[in-house]
Structure formats: C-alpha cells, structure tokens
Structure 1
Amino acid sequence: MDLDSMMEPEQLTKNPPADDEGSDLDEKFPNRPRNHSQTLPFHELYQTLFNPLSEIKKKPAGAATARRKLGPHGQSAANLNPLERRRDIIERFISRWRKEVGDDIYPAFRLILPDKDRDRAMYGIKEKVIGKMLVKIMKIDKNSEDGFNLLNWKLPGQMAGGNMAGDFAGRCYDVISKRPMRTEAGNVTIEEVNAKLDQLSAASKEDQQLPILADFYRHMNAEEMLWLIRIILRQMKVGATERTFFDVWHPDAENLYSISSSLRRVCWELHDPNIRLEAEDRGISLMQCYQPQLAQFQMQSLDRMISRLRPTEDDPVFWIEEKLDGERMQLHMQPDNTVAGGRRFRFWSRKAKDYTYLYGNGVNDVDGALTRYLQDAFADGVESLILDGEMITWDPEHNAPAPFGTLKTAALAEQRNPFANGARPLFRVFDILYLNGRDLTRYTLRDRRNALQKSIKPVPGRFEIHPYQEAIGKAEVEAALRTVVAEASEGLVLKNPRSPYRLNERHDDWMKVKPEYMTEFGESLDLVVIGGGFNAADYANIRHHTDGKWIEWNPKKPPTSFIELAGGDAQYERPDMWIKPEDSVVLCVKAASVSVSDQFRNGLTLRFPRFKRLRMDKNWKSALSVQEFLDLKSNVEQEQKEKEFSVDNSRKKRIKRTNKKPLTVAGYDADAEVQYIGPSGNIFDGMSFFVMTDSNAPIKKSKPELEQLVKTNGGKLYQTSTAAPHTICIADRRTVKAASIQKSGNVNIIRPSWVLDCIRQNEIDAGLPNLLLSLEPKHMFFTTVSKQEEIEASLDQFNDSYSRDSTTEEVRSILEQMSKNHQVDATQNIGAVHKLAERIHEQASDLPGALPGWLFKGLTVSFPQLSSTNDTEDEGHTVSQPISRLHFARNTICFAGGRVVDSLKETTTHVIVTPGISTPEISSIRRSLSERAGTKIPHLVTAEWIEECWTQRTLLDEERYQNF
C-alpha cells in the first residue's frame, strides 16, 4: 500500500456525522449548547492542560520556580497546594474554552477523559498493533533498534529506549521525534481529531486503521502523537481524576455522571453552572447506567474496621458477605408493552459496558444466556427494578463457582446450547436500588435487603440472592476468613446495614477483608503437610506436561540463564530442580502485596502468594512479563496513594429519619430512609452565608456538603455576598467570585475550616449553650485591615486558641514550640504533664506518628538472651557488642511505654534477639514458642526492629526483621 496516498496535503481528513445521527441528538438534547467558534487546536490540550497537570504529578514546583509563576489573579503559585494548582489549571482551560469557543465542551472532554466517553466504541487497538502500524508508516526496519523498541516495548535492557521502558506512548515519542513529519505543532483542531477517532473506532481491520493513523502522523508533531496514542489507549494518567474536572465544570456534574455514566449528558445538560439539577433528576433512573458503590480498601487492623461499621452500641450488628470472583453487573428491568406480560432487561458492567447482547433483553430472547430463565423470577406486583450484583460462572457438575476467566466463554456456550449441563452464568444479587418507580438508594441496606427478599424468587444456579451473615465482633470475621482460606475464595466484604447506597464512591460502609488479617498467623509455624493447593486434575496436568523435563540444580555449575533469578552468586533461593520456561506451565497466583527482598534478582517478591488455577491456555511467552509486573505494582501503589486523600468519615454520624411514603412490594412495608446531612444544631441561627468553594482542609467537603452543614445548623444560604446584611463569605481557594470580593478590600473571607471547627466544638460541648468560635488566623482566607488585630488576639503566646479545644496535632505542635522557644520547668507539675500526654496518646493511638514516648505502649517484650547472660555480667565480664545492643533496645522499650518481662508470658507480644544469634539458640527459642498452646504466638524479631521503629517514629512490619 502506498502510504503517501493516504495523506491529504492540506488538513486532516474527516467525515461529518450522518444526518440521522444529528437529528436524533437534536431530539434527545433539544437544549444542548452550541459553540460560536471552531474548537481549539489539539496542541492546546497538551500545552495548557496535560503537560502542566503532569508536571504537578511528577514533582510539585519548588519555591523558587513558584515565585516566577503567578496564578490567574496575581496570586503566587507558591501559595497553592497541588490540588489547588490542578484546579487552577483546569479552571483556566474551561474559562478560555467558554470565551473563545462556546459552552459545548463535550469535544474537549472526550479527549481529556477518553475512558469516560461511552458514546465512542472501543478501538480494539492495543500497543502491539500501534507499534506495528508505526513501523510501517515510518518505514522502519523492524529489526533495527527503533523497530525493536516499538514492537518489544515491555522488554527491559539496552534496547529499552532509555527511561521510556514500560511507557509505550513515551517509546513512540522517542522514535517519532527522530523522524517527524512535523517539528512544530500542527493546526489540527479538537473537532477534527474527534471526527478521525470516530472513524478509527469504526475500523475493524488493520488495512482500515493504517491510513487513519498515517493521516494523524502526517499532521502532528511527536508530542501531539504521544498524547493522541494515550487517548487511543485510554491511559491518560495526568494526575487529575474525572471528579476534579467535573467539580470545576459544574457542581452537579459528578452526581449526574454517577447516575447516568454519560459524559455527553454531563457536558450538554450542565453547561450553565448557575442552573442546578432538579431534585427529581438527582436519582438513578431505569435504563440509565449508574456508577456503583465500591468497597473501601482494607485498613490496618480488623478492630478498626469493625469500629467503623458499628458506630453505636444500640445496634452493633454488621454484615459479612463473601467477596465473589466475577464481574460486577447491574440489571435493569421494566415492562415491555409490545408483549403481553413481557419484561425488558438491560445489563451493564462496572465500567458501563453494555452486556445485554450476551445475557439477554427479554425472556423470549433466544440469544439471552440468562434472561430466558427469568420468566418466574419476580414476585407478583414487581414491575420495574434495578439490581446490583456479581455475575459469576457456575459449574453445576461440581456445584461450585468456576474461575472468573471462563465467564464470557460460559455465556456464549449457553447461548449456543441452552440445554447442555455445562458451566453457565449465575447472577448473584446483593442489592436493590430501584423498585416500581421509586429510588431506594437513600434507604438503609437492611431495608433494601428486605425489599430484595420480597421481590425476587431465586432460580437456583441462574439467578440467586447473595447470602450474608450477621456479626457483632472480630470472632465471626476470623471464622469466616478461615472458610475463605479453605475454599480459596477472594475474601470478604463487611457492610453496615444502617447505610444508604453511595453512588460512585468508596466508603467505610463497605470494606474489603483479605485472609492475611487473621491475627493467629503472624509467625511461621512448623506444620505437617497432608494436602496441597492442587487438585488431582491439576497435579496430573502438571506431571503430563513437565514429566522428564526437570533438571537437577548444580550449585557449582548453575544455569547461566537463571543464576540471577536465584539470587546471584549467593544462590539464596536456588531450587533443587529447575525447568526451562518453554517446557513449563503457567500458574495463576494471587498475592496480598509485593515486598522488597534482597534474595531475588529484581529485588521484589510476593507476600502471601496463593495458587488459583492452571492457565493451560497460556505459554511462557504470554505469561506475565517483568515489565507488566512492575506496571501492575505501580498501579496498585498509585491507587493506595490516591485513597489517602479520601474524605475522613470516621466522625460519628447522626442519622436523620424522615417520614416517607411506605415502600410497598408483595406485602412489605418500610418507612425508614437514611440521608446523612451531618451534625445538626442551631449554632448558626440568624446568620447568613455565601459558600463559594468546597473545603480542602482539614477534611474535604464539597460545596453542597458545606451548604447542607450550614443549613442543618440553623444558617441561611445565599448565592451572593450582598443578598443579606452581614453575610459571611466562605472560600478555600481563589475563584473569580472570591477574587472579586477580596479586591473590594472591605469583606472578610473565612475558610470552611471555621464552620467545621464551630460544629466540632459544639459536639464536644454538647448540652452547653451554643457559642460561635472566635476567628483565628488559620480560619482566614482574606482578612480586612480593621479585623487583623482582633483575629491575632484570639491566640495566646504559644498560638493556642482561647475559644476551642485543640486537636491532637495542634497540641503536639504547641508542645514542640514551647520546648524550642521557652524554658519550661516540667518538674513544677509533672503529674499534669503525664496526664496531658496520656490523653494525647489515647486520641492518637490509631494515627501514624503518635508521640515517641508511647511508641511501644501496649507491647510486652521479652529478651531471652539477656536473661541467660545476667550472671556473666554480674561477675564483671566485658559485655559483647550484640548484648550491648540488646540492652539499648530494652531501655528503648521501657522509655517508649512498653513492658519488659524476664520470661515468656501469655501476654508477650514480641521476642527480641540479636541479628547474629546462633542456630541452637534460635531453635531453642522457637521450641519454647511452639509449646505455648492456646495463646497467640509472639513476633520473633531482631533488635533492629526496635531501632528502626524508634528512628521512623512508627511501628513497622515485623516480617522484614526476621533474618537471624
């Protein structure tokens, strides 16, 4: 094929949308906005949006750099935290779009958030295909260094393209920049890119895709191509989530996306930020894909998780459900008027992919792998509903779930032969969100489950209600975890039965639990093997494929290809037998986490690995590569970092119950609805507020949440600063409205933290008259000249507030400053100091960085080697360096609140030894530990664990300090 003939000389070729598509959209969105000018050039996206956001993600700008960069209103970027800087960049882009283009930002959002655009079909193109096409377009020898790097982008080594290893788009940039068709940014507009991407999504074969990509290459420089490829792969990773973009675009944008999963609706129905969604438009609707609630990431301790799930002693029950290994699925059902008594169904996955084609649109759908069995699955009176659950594969022969990877295969097989008794899809329902025209998301989980039980008539092996177990403590969870381990299940989900359904949110009301939370398994145990993770069929399969191919490991002449994997010359993890990759089999393994290890070539190892199944459909070439493993590790770590910025919902919440029209289904009646509106009271009675922004610190609250808090505590809300006398203006960042008020110079702007502190103080002083807190410097976003002296007088000489209770962190900071700047004689009132520190410790015990003086409080520690050397020391002999190290560790434990015992007690939590302890000594200690039947086994660690804990001011994982 002649590539030159693919490229138009003037501009990127595009096809206009079909007339029928445009007319359909006009009918569906009659009030959609229209742009008055053409869209911005594509290069403006990465120059003014993607690149600046990526720079913040890589490394926040230093003070010197920040001083040279001013915000939109002259504010120094040094005064903005990373979140504020991201919002500032996005606000400027959106403001420019509205001014220069118009109110229809959908063309830009399709490229900014490509993974949220459900209206454009998947391209069906992965990195390997793009690499092959670029090699053809640029006429590169596939065996050259650049050709090899494009086609083998995951491989590390000399030909890995420098720092671009594992970053395919970066690798493409590296290659294209050596031979670009353009060196300057092109004139391709965002609208033209969208039109061409629509063509690419419709192309199904490489010979159709190749000229489209060549057309892009002809009109774009290397950096434009880099971002285009990231858009095609839907892997932007610019450091800003869709929530940030939605929040800046419109206060109701996130809510609308949560209930509709439609980026188009968010852009077209919410183009005016001053027009809010009506109350009836804020809930989920039939046949519109919502964004489901997700389970919160697991916490540090099981006790802490349970405390979050049972906030009151009046109702301490929480629920335990098995975590299913399937695909999250939502089912919508409504009457079908074309068929007598008919029903119409639709299915969507968690990622909003429509699976109706697979599972069926009605009971008479001959291609429906599930709905044909649902004729009698609903109670009388049920007309419409929305169900949330998990689609799994069920193996009727073994009466057990089959591996997740077989789900689509089982569904297709069920379509072709519904009478075969093979593996089939099973929909396990665990929630109902909509029933007979009513949104149930605000009702409690307990009430929703009652409605579900009354609505559904299970079809065994096809359509079932997922069971749950009630619990009140840790014992039930640990018993359930033992079952999980025995059945090789995914884990557990703990749920709060008093909670509403939270769309598109991870929340403490649902929390994952993995088997590694079982406290009994803190140490290695000497056990007898009576069974393994392989069943007879797996074992026979492995023997069949590997028999006669195993080679004995020779330590003197190890195989050169694998010596590094065995730990190098030291051969820490050398096997007794080894096998060539091409002769081996592929195992699917689950693990709790990735741990650092010096025993392996790549410095990493899996923690708590567990065999899942054999992958006979894969060979050694298609197994997980090192780069894929590193990418997976990086993605998990990124998710963990992002969750650290989630809202702190640990505060005890008050549930407001309102009378609702009874929920009626098959004789069921419920009148309790959950809608958390925050702590209520009358502290703000008679006061007027103008809330301009959300809250960023100390906890994040959206603007609507802040308004609701003000309202439920007696305040009145206005949308301008002049609507009522003495209106209090609230802002946490510099928006256009905030900047305008600040410019006037005669109105104070108060941070949302003052509102939160007032509510917090009145919760502490419950029963006392409501008093407003004095304004402090930390509460002020902008202070007028006349107010400055009064506000500074609200703190004492140590910066301690006169009007409110200080937080743990504030007390710690005050004490540190006092010790630095003032001579304090602690002996004058040593008892008071101890009481104060004890109180701080009680409040901070669950937090990292607790006071060092109580770092080891609650631990009981034994030093068996010191007990055996006491007599020698008393005789005046020189104390060896290792023993001296143990003495120092013992003193550290005592100083930091721990308890030291001479011999093993039932309460002993840790046994400390020297790193160079002899084998007989450690064996003797282990025997003593193993004889402690019926008690929890203490951690056996070296003194280095105490030293590192003290240095880092936190308790570290003991597993890293067990190298004796």
Structure 2
Amino acid sequence: MASADQQPTSCTSTGASTEPEGPTVASQIPFVQLCGFLERVQKKKGSDAKKLLFKEFLEKWREFHKAMHAKNPNTTDNFYPAMRLLLPQLERERMAYGIKEHTLAKFYIDIFGLAKESTDAKKLLNYRAPTAKQEAGDFASVAFFVLRNRCPERGSLTIKDVNDSLDSIALNNATKKKDLVKQSLLNLLRKTSAIEQKWFIRMIMKEMKVGLSQQSILGTFHPDAEDLFNVTNSLSKVCSDLSSPSVRLNEIAISVFSPFSPMLGERAKITGVERMMEHKGFLIETKLDGERMQLHKEGDKYMYFSRRSHDYSGSFGKSPMEGSLTPYIANCFNRDVHSCILDGEMCAYNSETKAFISKGENFDIKSLRDEEDVQVCYAVFDVLLVNNTKLANRPLKERLNYLPKVFTVIEGRMVLVERRDASTKAEVVEALNEAIDKREEGIVVKHPESTYRPDKRKGSGWLKIKPEYVDNLMDELDLLIVGGYFGKGYRSQLISHFLCALAVPPSREGDHPKIFYSFCKVGSGYTLQELLDFNQKLAKHWKKYDKENPPRWLQCTREKPELYVEPQHSFIVQVKATEINSSNVYRTGCTLRFPRLEKVRDDKDWHQCMTTEEMENMRQQAEGKLTGRHVNVDDDEIVTTKRRKATSRAVIPVAVPSRFRAADTSNVKQTSEMLEGRELCIMNSPASHPKDQLEKKIVECGGLVVQNPGIDTYCVLADKVNLKVKNIFRMPVAYCHGYHPICCSPLLR
C-alpha cells in the first residue's frame, strides 16, 4: 500500500456517502495498485485462490486504515471507495454514465487522431469480431492493445481521483453536459496507463470479468455483508455499518428511505401447490404486468425504488406538488399515517377501458406522463412499515389487515391487488384460466403465514404461476433464421444470437416467398452444445451484412444483423414467447416479448415458415397474448427450470469457421506502404508458411486482412485451388470483380 505521508487529492463527490474529513485510504492508494490486484485475480485459477488474493488486499487496506486513523478511531473513512470500483454493477449512489463501448471507441479515435480506416480504429469499432485470441468481444482488452503505446507508462491518479472522475461523468451526463463528460475522459486518459484504462473501461461498463462473484467479495468482506446488501442495496451502507469484521449485524432492519431487495415468488408446478402450502388454505393474487416498486413515505416526502433499488422518485414525485403519481395519491393516506413502506406494482392504466396495460407495449412506465387515457397507477400488495411499527416479521395475513388502515383506494391511481382465499389445485387452475381470459400475466399463490424476507425466492412461501410455465399451453411460432450476432466473453468465438424473420406471402399461390421481414432476436432456450450445432450447421453459409448494401430479400429497420444467411441455406426454428408487442425496431412493426428457442423444425423446409399475414391474424385474435388454450386440472407437465447449460469451454474455439477467425495482429507494426489500403484474403497457405504468419506480413505492409472476400477485396490468395476457392471463382462478377487465382508461393520469395 502507499505510504501515509502522501498528500490527498481534494475533489467534490456526488456520491451518497458522507465524505470523511482529512486524508482517506482511498486518497493515498494509487489506482494502479488496484488495477494490478485485479490483473492478478483475473489470471489466477480457481475461486478459492481468487478469494485469497482479495482477502490479502482487504487485510492490507485495513492495516493501512488502522495506522492512518490511529488517533481518530471514529473516522467515517472505510472500504467503500474501493468496493464501488470492484462491484460497479451494484453501484446505486452514482447516476448512469451514458457511455457504451462504441462511444468510447469514437472518443479514442478522435483523441488520438486515428484514421477511420486504420487498423487500430477498426479494432476499436469492430471489437466483437472474433480473432484467434480470447480478447475477442472484450472491448477493454482490445482498447488496452490499442492504447498501450499511446498512454503514460504509469498513471498518477489515486482511487479517490478515479471515483471523483466517475462522479463528475455521471453528474455531467445527467445534466446533458456532453463536453464536460468528454473533458473528464480526456483528463483520465492523460493521467492513466493503458492497463489502468483497461480496468477503468470495465468499471464504467460495469463488467469486471475477473471471475470473482459479488457473493465471494461481499462474503470475504464481512459474513453479514450479503444479507445487509440484499436488504439495503447500498454498498455504502454495507461498508459503513460493517467496517469492522468483528462486529456482527444482529438485526437487518427495513427503514424508511432505505431501499431493499424485495421478496420474490418461486416458480412452481400447479401440482405442487397444495404440498408447498402445507395442505392448508392459501391466498391467490393477480400477477400484474408492471414494474415492481417500493413506496416510502414520511410526511410529505415520498420516494420510489425499483426491484434493483434504483431511485425513481424524480419520475413519480418526491412531494405532492410534483411527479406522475404522488400528486394524485397524497390525499388518499389516512391522517394518522405519518410514515409507511408499501410494496407493489407500478402499472399503466387505461382510464377509458378501466384496465391495466401490458408493460410490453411501447411505453416506459417510469417516464409516463398522463397522455389521453393512459396514466400511472400503483397496485399495492404488501406493507412493511406503518409509522414506527415494523411488520416484516409478522405473517402475511396480519400485514394485509394493516393495508385498509394505511390508505383509501383511488381507482386508476392507487389500488389493492385482487386476491382470493383458496385451498385446492382446482381453484389454482380456475384462477390461472381467468388470468388467461383477461390477458393477465398470471397468478401468485401466497402462504398466509409467510413473513417478508428480502431477496428471498426459494422457500419464501410465495409461488408464481404463469401460462408459459405450463407445457403445450403457449402458441409456438415457426420462424426462419436470417441473421446472426457474435457473442461476448467465452462465447466470443460463436454466433450466439440469431435474427429471425417472417415471410411475406408470395403474390402467386404455390410460389416460394422472396421477401422476409425482420421480426425478433433470440438468444436463449438452447444449451451450449445446441449452439455449437447451430454454428456448425450454418458455418459455410454466413455472409457479412453490409448496412450500405443489404440483401434485397431481407428487410430490416433499426435492428440489423452482423451476418446474414440466404433463406434457402437456413432452417426453421420453433420459438415460444409470452406475447407479441408493437415495435419499430423490426420491419414487421411488432416483435416477441421474452422469446426463447425451443427446437429446430427439421420436418419443415425454409419456405414453410410463418408469414406476416399469419402473425397479424394471431396478434388480432389474442390481443397480442400467445396463450393457446386453458389449463386443465390434469396438466402436470410444468416447465419449472431452465435447461442446464453446458459449461465446457474447451470446444468453443472450433465453433466459428476459420474464415471468420483472423490472425491476432495487435502487436504487428506497419513497416511498409506496399499494400497500403489494399484488402486481401488468404484462403489457404503452404505448411512452411502458416496462414496467420502471412496475414501478419500483409498488415506489416499496410494491407487489411479479411476472411471472406467481398466487393472491396483487392485479391484472394491460395496455395491450393480447393472447392472453396473454386466457389469464389464462380461468384458473380458484380460481387467480386471477377477474381483470378494468385498462388501464394511467388509472394513468399
């Protein structure tokens, strides 16, 4: 750790935590030390070994803290500045940064004056294109290789400096001061090394990729840290309340204006309800399709927190004088209720039809303002605190008795979730069928004796049942795969997501469709082995999608694939989803909500996929819902778990065809302009000169290497004229200018 006699850097923080007076540990420790620790953790094998490294880092921090604050044991300085950088995905005190990989790529290109067609610029902009190395798909690693010869060898910032910069970026993004955001990034770039930039990028993207889970970090920090975080969702509170490892948290308290992770419903079989409810009576509630939201009230101050503890008080109203909800409900609270915490669902309500609207439609409940007949409505189903009385440890039936004493229902603004008493499986089936008829999301079954346990799902006493959990209950859609997207992380060598399309009915009956409309993007429902099979099946048919010159048969709007496949070379997949929603992202004008791939339809040819006409009929008949029938009491095949994903990564590198895998040219320096601006493609090479070595030689000469020849390719090189090379010669002249074979051998001399 750094010595304590270094001078702290003063900066203003926008974080929620109270700034300690005087020097802090974070103001003394160089940011590069934290980055070095993260590098070691990333390279270490095994979770136990990684946790041991973190434990050692934490102990050194605490030793330094003890020495620094020996004369002030009551200091508020703690581990929070480091914790919020180690677990950026759990950060709640800072607002959004408004920065994505593409934004940073353009920033680096601009700052360093990189030509847009330069190799480094293309690396940054096309960081997801797979290469022979594992860094493919990881923008931070790609940026490191581009920046390592352009940044200072050693940075000069402390951990506090970096946090202050992130505070500034978040604040300026919130106030739409983009120039100041860029200035903060520039200052960081001038004062950090490439390795620090790599970890800064991961922190700002909130993807650390060190192989150390939040449970491991919190558990190592303090035995009660995870429990406290689950209740408060505040890293600041965890670090301040549990700063000493010897002090145990006797009672995790739910308090006003401190958000907590809500209690959740366990996914369950209808056949298991009676057993899980201990063969006693239970409650059935309507499962509304809204946003889970806590309402905290104290006097005329109101706060609203989402399931992940994001603060939306600014949207719904911090006082009776502002927001889309608070002004309409402030007078509904009983006079003797000074403070309370409610749990419920924030929904969109149509005042004309007097019905809730699916959140899958084209609106965001958090930014909704009263427009025509649509308004914000809060549907309450639980209460955790009334005045000074905490209710979380009391049974549900007792908590529900408090609700009528807290507020008076206002139709369309603040209501109680409908519930009924039940005791049998048949009553559960009846309630689920009613939900299907009303186009509702499903039902929730609750044990009347259940206490409120934050962040608890399994064994909570709450069961959620949706139509899609029942096998063969949902309509299935036969869609055609027309596009693909490269994955990230360990899937970076795979096409991991697929663009599916609908066929436009041909004008003459009996003809095959010639035009296809983009419809949805699917990336779940299959195992890793199935994904490998899909990649192998389509490997030789993928083509790069050119946004400037797209294939005429495939019509897209905002969502465009990275690769595409001709319809006759593709196959139909069976897809399930919860409903069909309006969307301008896809050419169909609608898309699927929560799509998942069920299986490949080997029994159907490509031209037998669903049509736009069939989709529109289905959408109108069921008002967008995809539930095909009622549940029967005898239905017991319930889909309760996701299929286990294969975890073996050893087979992944062979999944993407070699023509899409380029040599890693990160370290190659240009020494000649002989091939400047020329695009070359090497199909194969003699054993004496491996393909990747030749590709590096091309880069040295200023050329660009592609794995698939296209209209801009200068020449294609091959040592042997095999079938693949012959196919290139047969390509239309308009596409390839009429290639002629060039043997590699003369070039080697």
TM-score for the superposition, normalised by structure 1? 0.48
CA–CA distance in structure 2, aligned partners of residues 490 and 614 of structure 1: 17
CA–CA distance in structure 2, aligned partners of residues 503 and 219 of structure 1: 42
Equivalent in 263, 266, 269 of residue 238 of structure 2: 266
**1:492 offset after TM fit, Å?**
3.1
**1:348 offset after TM fit, Å?**
1.6
The correspondence of residues 428-577 of structure 1 with structure 2, limited to 5 A, is 428-509=379-460, 510-518=462-470, 521=473
- Listed as ranges, the gaps of 5+ residues in structure 2 are 1-6, 67-76, 478-501, 519-533, 542-550, 561-566, 604-631, 638-749
* 1:196 counterpart = 2:165: yes
SS in 2 for 1:136: helix
**1:145 offset after TM fit, Å?**
4.6
CA–CA distance in structure 2, aligned partners of residues 305 and 107 of structure 1: 46
Q: 1:935 to 1:91 in 2, by over 3 A?
A: closer
Report the counterpart of residue 958 of structure 1 in structure 2: none
Equivalent in 291, 310, 316 of residue 327 of structure 1: 291
CA–CA distance in structure 2, aligned partners of residues 586 and 481 of structure 1: 35
The answer to whether the Cα contact below 8 Å between 1:585 and 1:615 also exists between their aligned partners in 2 is no
Q: 1:272 to 1:375 in 2, by over 3 A?
A: closer
**1:163 offset after TM fit, Å?**
4.6
The correspondence of residues 473-872 of structure 1 with structure 2, limited to 5 A, is 473-509=424-460, 510-518=462-470, 521=473, 580-582=553-555, 605=573, 607-616=575-584, 618-619=585-586
CA–CA distance in structure 2, aligned partners of residues 34 and 225 of structure 1: 25
Report the counterpart of residue 110 of structure 1 in structure 2: 84
Equivalent in 337, 356, 369 of residue 382 of structure 1: 337
CA–CA distance in structure 2, aligned partners of residues 937 and 523 of structure 1: 16
Equivalent in 2, 18, 25 of residue 25 of structure 1: 18
Q: When the two structures are aligned, how many residues end up with a matched partner? A: 530
Q: 1:374 to 1:407 in 2, by over 3 A?
A: farther
Report the counterpart of residue 128 of structure 1 in structure 2: 102
CA–CA distance in structure 2, aligned partners of residues 228 and 243 of structure 1: 22
The answer to whether the Cα contact below 8 Å between 1:38 and 1:101 also exists between their aligned partners in 2 is no
CA–CA distance in structure 1, aligned partners of residues 154 and 572 of structure 2: 42
**1:477 offset after TM fit, Å?**
3.0
Pick the structure with more strand per residue: 2
**1:139 offset after TM fit, Å?**
2.1
Report the counterpart of residue 198 of structure 2 in structure 1: 226
Q: Deviations along 1:745-775, whole A, 9 cap, x unmatched? A: xxxxxxxxxxxxxxxxxxxxxxxxxxxxxxx
Q: Deviations along 1:786-823, whole A, 9 cap, x unmatched? A: xxxxxxxxxxxxxxxxxxxxxxxxxxxxxxxxxxxxxx
The answer to whether the Cα contact below 8 Å between 2:442 and 2:464 also exists between their aligned partners in 1 is yes
The answer to whether the Cα contact below 8 Å between 2:575 and 2:596 also exists between their aligned partners in 1 is no
**1:516 offset after TM fit, Å?**
3.4
The correspondence of residues 392-411 of structure 1 with structure 2, limited to 5 A, is 392-404=347-359
SS in 1 for 2:113: coil
Q: 1:128 to 1:523 in 2, by over 3 A?
A: closer
- Listed as ranges, the gaps of 5+ residues in structure 1 are 1-12, 61-81, 336-342, 526-545, 572-577, 588-598, 635-914, 917-933, 940-964
CA–CA distance in structure 2, aligned partners of residues 256 and 352 of structure 1: 13
Equivalent in 16, 35, 39 of residue 10 of structure 2: 16
Q: Which amino acid aligns with 2:161?
A: E
The answer to whether the Cα contact below 8 Å between 1:323 and 1:490 also exists between their aligned partners in 2 is yes
**1:442 offset after TM fit, Å?**
0.3
Report the counterpart of residue 318 of structure 2 in structure 1: 361
Q: 1:272 to 1:586 in 2, by over 3 A?
A: closer
The answer to whether the Cα contact below 8 Å between 1:33 and 1:268 also exists between their aligned partners in 2 is no
Q: 1:234 to 1:269 in 2, by over 3 A?
A: same
**1:585 offset after TM fit, Å?**
9.5
TM-score for the superposition, normalised by structure 2? 0.60
Q: 1:248 to 1:457 in 2, by over 3 A?
A: same
The answer to whether the Cα contact below 8 Å between 1:16 and 1:195 also exists between their aligned partners in 2 is no
**1:185 offset after TM fit, Å?**
5.3
CA–CA distance in structure 2, aligned partners of residues 351 and 22 of structure 1: 18
Q: Deviations along 1:681-723, whole A, 9 cap, x unmatched? A: xxxxxxxxxxxxxxxxxxxxxxxxxxxxxxxxxxxxxxxxxxx
CA–CA distance in structure 2, aligned partners of residues 464 and 557 of structure 1: 50
Q: 1:399 to 1:142 in 2, by over 3 A?
A: farther
Q: 1:147 to 1:371 in 2, by over 3 A?
A: same
Pick the structure with more helix per residue: 1
Q: 1:294 to 1:524 in 2, by over 3 A?
A: closer
Q: 1:36 to 1:15 in 2, by over 3 A?
A: closer
Equivalent in 138, 143, 163 of residue 172 of structure 1: 143
CA–CA distance in structure 2, aligned partners of residues 128 and 147 of structure 1: 11
The answer to whether the Cα contact below 8 Å between 1:39 and 1:101 also exists between their aligned partners in 2 is no
Q: 1:180 to 1:378 in 2, by over 3 A?
A: same
What RMSD, in angstroms, separates the aligned Cα atoms of the two structures? 4.7
CA–CA distance in structure 2, aligned partners of residues 208 and 475 of structure 1: 62
Report the counterpart of residue 215 of structure 1 in structure 2: 187
SS in 2 for 1:401: strand
SS in 2 for 1:203: helix
Q: 1:175 to 1:613 in 2, by over 3 A?
A: same
CA–CA distance in structure 2, aligned partners of residues 560 and 522 of structure 1: 24
Q: 1:442 to 1:552 in 2, by over 3 A?
A: farther
CA–CA distance in structure 2, aligned partners of residues 222 and 109 of structure 1: 22
Report the counterpart of residue 858 of structure 1 in structure 2: none
**1:196 offset after TM fit, Å?**
1.9
Report the counterpart of residue 822 of structure 1 in structure 2: none
SS in 2 for 1:506: coil
CA–CA distance in structure 2, aligned partners of residues 85 and 104 of structure 1: 25
- Work out which structure has the larger RCO, using CA pairs closer than 8 Å and 6 or more positions apart in sequence: 2
The answer to whether the Cα contact below 8 Å between 2:273 and 2:425 also exists between their aligned partners in 1 is no
Q: 1:937 to 1:293 in 2, by over 3 A?
A: closer
Q: 1:24 to 1:143 in 2, by over 3 A?
A: closer
CA–CA distance in structure 2, aligned partners of residues 399 and 457 of structure 1: 18
CA–CA distance in structure 1, aligned partners of residues 117 and 26 of structure 2: 47
The answer to whether the Cα contact below 8 Å between 1:14 and 1:195 also exists between their aligned partners in 2 is no
Q: 1:283 to 1:557 in 2, by over 3 A?
A: closer
Q: 1:506 to 1:601 in 2, by over 3 A?
A: farther
The answer to whether the Cα contact below 8 Å between 1:385 and 1:434 also exists between their aligned partners in 2 is yes
Report the counterpart of residue 864 of structure 1 in structure 2: none
**1:108 offset after TM fit, Å?**
0.6
**1:389 offset after TM fit, Å?**
0.8
SS in 2 for 1:374: helix
Equivalent in 373, 376, 382 of residue 422 of structure 1: 373
The answer to whether the Cα contact below 8 Å between 1:392 and 1:407 also exists between their aligned partners in 2 is no
CA–CA distance in structure 2, aligned partners of residues 502 and 233 of structure 1: 31
CA–CA distance in structure 1, aligned partners of residues 186 and 200 of structure 2: 12
CA–CA distance in structure 2, aligned partners of residues 506 and 247 of structure 1: 20
Q: 1:458 to 1:522 in 2, by over 3 A?
A: closer
Q: Which amino acid aligns with 2:399?
A: R
Report the counterpart of residue 58 of structure 2 in structure 1: 94
In terms of Rg, which structure is larger? 1
**1:233 offset after TM fit, Å?**
1.6
Q: Deviations along 1:440-486, whole A, 9 cap, x unmatched? A: 11011121112113323111111011112333343333333334444
**Percent identity among equivalent residues?**
28
**1:90 offset after TM fit, Å?**
2.4
**1:95 offset after TM fit, Å?**
0.6
Report the counterpart of residue 527 of structure 2 in structure 1: none
